């Protein structure tokens, strides 16, 4: 199994609710602890490094606290290059219905999920709205208080 993590989901790993729960943290822990059975690969598009840094800076400007460091890379993780090869492999997707409705870097995340035949992990409703027939979306909004995403894996 492969999982492409968009920036909203990466940030959510560190953003716990009032009860100390985060659906993204729960999912990444379920994968690493083997709660979700099978081998897996977490894919972090390289553009997310910059988006996460910008988001953390905004959080700091808003007077909230969050560590800048994210220790997500392990033997089951890769930084996915946003390069000419990705552009070439994505060319046929860019104007396709649904993909053409995405904003900014969302198109990059959707293309990678398509090319890699991966789940797209997100808190952004645009993916479910525009691409639910094209890619497998794990919308963490549906798991805001409990790990409802486990249904996807028959748990």
List, in order, residues 6 or more apart from 101 with CB less than 8 Å away: 126, 129, 130
CB environment 82-93: b (16+ within 10 A), e (fewer): beeebeeebeeb
Decide if 120 contacts 7 (C-beta within 8 A).
no
Decide if 71 contacts 105 (C-beta within 8 A).
no
Domains and CATH numbers, the chain: 2-149 (3.40.50.1010)
| pTM, full prediction | 0.91
Beta bridge partners of 138: 121
- Per-residue pLDDT tens digits for 54-108: 888 988 899 988 777 777 788 999 999 999 999 999 999 998 999 999 998 999 9
């Amino acid at each position: 199994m492969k999982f492409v993590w968009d920036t909203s989901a990466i940030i959510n790993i560190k953003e716990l609710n009032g009860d100390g729960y985060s659906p993204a943290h729960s999912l990444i822990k379920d994968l690493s602890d083997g709660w979700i059975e099978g081998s897996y690969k977490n894919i972090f598009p390289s553009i997310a490094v910059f988006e996460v840094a910008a988001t953390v800076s905004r959080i700091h400007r808003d007077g909230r606290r969050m560590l800048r460091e994210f220790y997500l890379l392990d033997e089951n993780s890769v930084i996915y290059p946003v390069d000419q090869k990705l552009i070439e492999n994505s060319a046929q997707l860019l104007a396709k219905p649904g993909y053409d409705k995405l904003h900014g870097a969302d198109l990059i995340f959707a293309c990678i999920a398509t090319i890699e035949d991966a789940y797209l992990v997100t808190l952004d409703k645009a993916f479910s709205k525009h691409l639910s027939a094209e890619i497998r979306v794990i919308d963490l909004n549906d798991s805001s208080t409990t790990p409802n995403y486990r249904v996807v894996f028959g748990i």
